[in-house]
Amino acid sequence: RMQTPDGDFFDVDWKYCHGESNDKDDPVVRPIVLICHGLQSDSSSPLAQDMARAFNNAGMDAGCINFRGCSGEINKTPLGYHLGFTEDLKQMIEHINQKYERKRRIYLSGFSLGANVVTSCLA
C-alpha cells in the first residue's frame, strides 16, 4: 500500500519473477514493469494476471497498480482515477527509483484506460 501526499492510498500487487524481488545491494537486478489496468478492473483481472505472468517469463518483476477505489477498499478522499490521472503512477516510479537507488530499469504497460494513463504519464 502506497500512502499518497493528499492523505489517500493506492495498492500495488506484485508478482515476482523468482520468489521475492532482488535486494538493492544485489549487483544483478531484474527490471520492473508497472501494469496499469483498464476501466472498472483491478490487478486480479485475467488480463492483468496474464500480463504479469508473461513479464515474469521474460525475466521481469511485475507490479500492478490498482487505481484508487479499485482494490476492494474505499478510499479516504473523493478523488478517483480518470484517463489523465498520472500522479499515483509517477509516485510509484519515484518510490522504486528511491528504493533501488535507480538501479532497476522500469517499464510501463497498460491496457484500455491504463494504456492512456501510461501514455499521459510519458507525454
What would the pLDDT profile of 49-101 be if each residue is shown by its tens digit?
Answer: 999 999 999 999 999 999 999 999 999 998 888 888 999 999 999 999 999 98
| Rounded Cα–Cα distance for residues 72 and 20 (Å) | 24
Helix (H, G, I), strand (E, B) or coil at 85: coil
Torsion of CA 50, 13, 43, 96, to 10 degrees: -90
Angle of CA points 72, 11, 20, to nearest 5°: 120
Q: Where are the beta strands (DSSP E) in the chain?
A: 2-3, 9-15, 32-36, 61-66, 106-110
- Each residue's pLDDT tens digit, 27-56: 458 999 999 999 999 999 999 999 999 999
What's the grid cell of residue 107? Answer: 517499464
